């Protein structure tokens, strides 16, 4: 059986679509029949509440108390993404800050070991992270296979995207200097979120992203600003299940992200078999 692919949504700013991206990608993959784990690694617990689960300290219990996976995982309610899916959640709440402030090296080692226990259990693990850089982020640079970076069309969001890329690149370069370099995550792509192509500024920004980053990273087609995203969230549904105005367009705009990741998974499985 192939190893679970771990994909983390990251970004050094709130409100840029990390949680939206994580819950939508995870549910989209689960609906394709993949055994999927959504990891809420942000103590605010937004990914948990978005799928209809009260945030609770499962992540912290796994890492700080060495809990069994079976005791910390919960199934994602059918109302969120549909019936009959193999789709679980690892939640997070207040105690997440204790993991964030623990020793970086130790947290990295424990997160790496605990998540690799799932290798033959899940096909894919999608991680939602917090906006501030913590030991958990460093841990996922080494534990995740891929990183997705959402960005808005605002200057400070573009600025924090540049910072994220510089920071991740530096961490990777540092790791590669070690005698026995650990495996590190690749930046899989940049996802422009909440874009209005009606506005010239937004069009220029998208062009700028492609010119600036396109040679090194995939710049995905923009996910437009649409009320359907908020409406689905208010109903505790995914855009795949919510029947709200504009949802078909939202699905179409997010689909390239799901397709990119599922093509990676199929490719990995073909290599193994």
Q: In the window 199-228, what residues touch ligand ADP (CB under 6 A)?
A: 223-226
Q: Is 19 in the site for Mg ion (CB under 5 A)?
A: yes
Chosen from Mg ion, ligand ADP, none, partner binding at 137 (C-beta under 5 to 8 Å by type): none
Comparing every residue's Cβ against Mg ion, the nearest one is 19
Count of residues interacting with Mg ion (CB under 5 A): 3
Residue 82 contacts ligand ADP per CB under 6 A: no
123 vs 238 by CB, closer to ligand ADP: 238
Q: What is the largest CA-CA distance in the chain?
A: 55
46 is a contact residue toward Mg ion (CB under 5 A): yes
Q: How far is the CB of 101 from ligand ADP (least distance, A)?
A: 21
Residue from the set 36, 91, 96, 193 that interacts with ligand ADP by CB under 6 A: 193
| 12 or 114: CB nearest ligand ADP | 12
Q: How many residues does the chain have?
A: 273
Q: What are phi and psi of 32, to 5 degrees?
A: -85, 5
Q: Which of 20, 61 has the CB closer to ligand ADP?
A: 20
CA dihedral 195, 199, 203, 205 (to 10 degrees): -70
CB 8 within 8 A of CB 185: yes
Binding site for Mg ion (CB under 5 A): 18-19, 46
Contacts with ligand ADP by CB under 6 A lie at 14-20, 46, 193-194, 223-226, 229-230, 233
């Amino acid at each position: 059986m192939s190893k679970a692919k771990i994909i983390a949504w990251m970004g050094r700013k709130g409100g840029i679509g990390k949680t939206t991206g994580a819950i939508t990608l995870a549910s989209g993959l689960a609906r394709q029949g993949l055994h999927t784990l959504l990891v809420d690694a942000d103590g605010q617990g937004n990914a948990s509440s978005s799928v209809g689960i009260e945030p609770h300290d499962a992540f912290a219990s796994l890492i700080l108390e060495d809990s069994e996976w079976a005791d910390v995982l919960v199934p994602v309610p059918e109302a969120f993404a549909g019936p009959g899916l193999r789709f679980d959640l690892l939640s997070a709440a207040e105690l997440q800050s204790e993991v964030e402030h623990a020793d970086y090296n130790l947290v990295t080692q424990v997160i790496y070991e605990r998540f690799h226990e799932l290798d033959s259990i899940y096909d894919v693990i999608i991680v939602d992270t917090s906006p501030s850089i913590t030991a958990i982020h460093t841990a996922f640079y080494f534990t995740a296979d891929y990183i997705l970076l959402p960005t808005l069309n605002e200057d400070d969001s573009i600025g924090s995207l540049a910072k994220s890329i510089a920071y991740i690149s530096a961490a990777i370069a540092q790791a590669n200097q070690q005698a026995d370099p650990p495996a590190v995550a690749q930046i899989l792509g940049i996802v422009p979120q909440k874009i209005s192509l009606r506005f010239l500024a937004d069009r220029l920004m998208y062009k700028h992203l492609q010119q600036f980053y396109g040679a090194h990273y995939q710049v995905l087609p923009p996910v437009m600003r649409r009320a359907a995203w908020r409406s689905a969230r208010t109903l505790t549904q995914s855009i795949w299940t919510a029947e709200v105005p504009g949802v078909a367009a939202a699905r179409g705009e997010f689909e390239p992200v799901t397709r990119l990741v599922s093509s990676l998974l199929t490719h990995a499985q073909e290599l193994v078999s």
